[in-house]
Structure 1
Amino acid sequence: MSQPLLSVEESSKVLKLVGDQTRLTIVGLLKDQELCVCELVEILEMSQPSVSQHLKKLRSAGIVKEKRQGHWMFYSLNEDHAAVDLISDILTHMPDQKEKIEALEQSGKRIVCE
């Protein structure tokens, strides 16, 4: 389903957000599945507060959504956001991030949050 067109201002804001390498990687990782903050910390090899700050910016813009399960916070791409088509188009021009999730699974850290 095609989303409504974004204004130039809205498009600019989205492009600025995903113009950051870490946030673009996060969006790429969340494209196909939800991930826990602790999984993103492992994949990105960053501190939890740093990853949380990036997620906060994406969440505030409505690009990602969160879901609490017990003590854990899971994030996924917000498919209802008006910029989802723009973001999806951007992601088609970069390498798939699935190998990072596969490496996490192989290391036995994929299920850390359960």
Structure 2
Amino acid sequence: MTDGTEKFARFLKVLGDANRLGIVMAIGKESLSVTELVRIKGLSQTLLSFHLRIMREAEIVRTERNGPFIYYSLSDPSLIDILAALSKTQSSNDKKPDENRKSELTGKRAGKTARQSMQFYAKIN
């Protein structure tokens, strides 16, 4: 794997935790203090700080000190738009029952694969 791919995989792994994803969504395009995030997320300060440290190391959030408070914001505010789009995609997929979706997808894939195989075979013969 390339260094860029490994860094991206780590980034996605960090966001794969429900608490951290919730923290990112809570921050959005704002800057919030730890105290504000504790109130919003309902996590203990210790647990919240643990998750914020991991996100800081992955460069998902950045900090800014203002007097005695440390404020957290997203390193790239466009992340919230990307996550919102992914969330909409997931929500629209949830509208169909899993079994119907599975048969629909595998049926389309099987038909497409068979067609592609026949077209490829016709080209080489």
TM-score by length of 2: 0.61
Cα shift at 1:31 = 2.3
DSSP-derived class of the 1:93 partner: helix
Q: 1:94 aligns with which of 84, 87, 106?
A: 87
> Which protein is richer in helix relative to its size?
2
Give distance in 1, aligned partners of 2:80 and 2:4: 14
Deviations, residues 71-102 of structure 1 (Å, cap 9, x unaligned): 111000012xxxx766642332237xxxxxxx
* Residue of structure 1 in register with 2:103 after alignment: none
1:25 counterpart = 2:18:
no
Paired amino acid for 2:12: L
State the alpha-carbon separation in 2 of the partners of residues 85 and 15 from structure 1: 15
- Kindly indicate whether residue 65 of structure 2 is the aligned counterpart of residue 47 of structure 1: no
Higher relative contact order (CA 8 A, sep 6+): 1
The answer to whether the Cα contact below 8 Å between 2:29 and 2:80 also exists between their aligned partners in 1 is no
* 5+ residue gaps, structure 1: 1-5, 96-114
- CA–CA separation in structure 2 for the residues paired with 1:8 and 1:34: 29
**Residue-by-residue CA offset, 1:8-31 (whole Å, 9 max, x unaligned):** 222211110000001111111222
How many Å separate the matches in 1 of 2:81 and 2:6?
19
Residues 1:74 and 2:71 are matched in the alignment: yes
Q: Retained in 1: the 8 A contact 2:33–2:71?
A: yes
Q: 5 Å matches for 1:59-70?
A: 59-70=56-67
Q: Which has the larger radius of gyration?
A: 2
Please, what TM-score do these two structures have when normalized by structure 1? Answer: 0.66
> 2:9 aligns to what?
12
Matched-pair identity in %: 36
Aligned residues: 86
CA RMSD, aligned part only? 2.2
